[in-house]
Chain A
């Protein structure tokens, strides 16, 4: 056999084995919602809806993990990581929709929608939460919590995880806190868990019940946005609760490296960080704009108007998607501001979606540099940089190109997706808003998303959420890689069969 044949096969064995271990982990997570039975034992009738898929998923995972385990330890490149991420997320989505079909009695499309919305931390929902069981509600929040952290990070912290940064880079989490990727993964989980704990306590203090506090803390820090109430955070109409939610959303949106630096008291690199600066500029600016242009017209009470302006701005930019209002009496400029915020999105290497603040910041700075360059002598040499954590990243043309291409791809997908929605008969404003929300994994809705929506709309949004969470370029590249590699392996097999025939002849 030619060396390359062996390598490809070995590669894929390793890939499937790692995928198996991730599936095993996900199956354990599927059992977690059963903890809600402690509060409402009457729902134990539904437990099979979770236990069964968990067993099947766990079975598949465990089997592929052990049997396909490579004899020699294989090194995982980023491309391999991409394939693993793609495969595992798709399988996890499918199995996660099982409880929705069984317990919630949703159709297949709707169930997949809800499960994708959970794992991608979007928050758009086709469920009427008023009459939903606690186990389902908790499952939604757990999906968002886990999806926010990222399966890769969880894998890394687990002892059986793969070595090397290939997996987490592929999932869009390339920031590293300390000089070893495993330790870094553990630290991220610790920080993340800390956020969740603080969130639960804070909500309790602000007056939420325990079940609601847990659910909302999970979905706030994962910037997911699922709620246990149909009106989301608006249900409580409480400044205290909104005041707890806003910092939680901002924390969840913050790059983990920045959070790590903050925890260690290193404020200087945080202040220099482009994303922090962008956020510090955008949030107040947009909040004020929203207040002046929208709130004054839409809400009678001044206090309510201020609260809505601030809350919606943060919810949109951090791509969380909690809402404190229905958008019934909002004018178009309000929608536009929110859409822009949703498209810009959250920080890189955080749980947020969108084009990501780093890219927008970089493109903006590139504009500034370009203008400045025109004033310098023709042969001047410049070294433009942005701060990444504690060190300067010197921005090369290649980097700007990568960012520009990504942004173009994102906007192209946005236009196509919004087009699909509009083609189904929804208004332009609604289509643009809703798809920005899906692609950016935000979760704010003007009503396009519902159980009764056309199947085409739901699948467009599912694809949007998936591409938005997993950095579309990774998905595209991984799909191409799988196609190419399968073709290569097929060719090899045919060649080998031909050789055997020749030998026998």
Chain B
């Protein structure tokens, strides 16, 4: 993490991405609250995680308020469904004026559209796709034995 200031972060979704971010950020000293609809998802958090956990549906207003979204400096929407992420991101940005909001959106088309609306959408599909393509451009020949390029 480049910046040293402490961010009050809310992470929606405790799947692989959400828990990874939560563990890292808590380790770095940020205040983290994780929201997930399924309590067993919190098992993915490391023993070192020292933030809060909220069990609930993030599309419910009351759940977001319980997580103290009005005090948040950063909201990361990493739930399984794109639409949930888009909704949470917009509510965070437009209604609660959270300074920094990021959403993971799998569908490249939707990500593109919402970027035009001003939502910071991270699309793993297009990122991975670009990496694959770049790799092809660099070494179009077949994989050599033993190398991973």
Contacts and interface: CB of A to CB of B under 8 A. Distances in A.
B30 interface: yes
B108 to A, nearest CB: 33
Interface string A41-79: 000000000000000000000000000000000011110
Contacts of A176: 50, 52
B47 A77 contact: yes
Given A163-B27, A391-B66, A182 B50 contact: yes
A125 B8 CA distance: 47
A271 interface: no
Contacts of A165: 50
B49 interface: yes
Contacts of A78: 47
Contacts of B66: 391
B45 to A, nearest CB: 11
Interface in A449-464: none
A165 B8 CA distance: 18
B46 interface: yes
A77 B47 CA distance: 6
B83 interface: no
B24 to A, nearest CB: 12
Contacts of A485: none
A178 interface: yes
A172 interface: no
B70 to A, nearest CB: 14
Give 4 closest A-B pairs by Cβ, nearest first.
A181-B50, A164-B48, A179-B31, A179-B51
Contacts of B52: 176, 179
A180 B29 contact: yes
A417 interface: no
B34 to A, nearest CB: 9
B31 A180 contact: yes
Contacts of B47: 75-78, 164, 166
10 contacts: A76-B48, A163-B50, A166-B48, A176-B50, A179-B31, A179-B33, A180-B26, A182-B50, A183-B6, A391-B66
Contacts of A179: 8, 31-33, 50-52
Given A75-B46, A391-B66, A180 B27 contact: no
A183 B31 contact: yes
Contacts of B32: 179-180
A76 B47 CA distance: 7
A166 to B, nearest CB: 6
Interface in B62-80: 66
Contacts of B50: 163-165, 176, 179-182, 184
Nearest to A80: B47
Nearest to B33: A179
Contact of A182 (B8, B29, B46): B29
A180 B51 contact: yes
Contacts of B6: 180, 183
A163 B33 contact: no
Interface string A15-37: 00000000000000000000000
Nearest to B10: A179
A406 B47 CA distance: 24
Contacts of A163: 27, 48, 50
A164 B49 contact: yes
Interface in B20-54: 26-27, 29-33, 46-52
A77 B49 CA distance: 10
A75 B31 CA distance: 18
Given A180-B26, A180-B31, A180-B32, 10 more contacts: A75-B47, A78-B47, A163-B27, A164-B46, A164-B49, A176-B50, A178-B31, A179-B50, A180-B29, A180-B50
B82 to A, nearest CB: 27
Nearest to B52: A179
A78 B47 CA distance: 8
Nearest to A79: B47
A389 to B, nearest CB: 10
Nearest to A179: B31
A75 B6 CA distance: 21
A478 B60 CA distance: 42
Nearest to A75: B48
A117 to B, nearest CB: 32
A183 B48 CA distance: 14
B106 to A, nearest CB: 28
Residue among A75, A77, A176, A180 facing the most chain B CB atoms (10 A cut-off): A180
A166 B49 CA distance: 9
A75 B47 CA distance: 7
B124 to A, nearest CB: 27
A178 to B, nearest CB: 6
Nearest to A162: B48
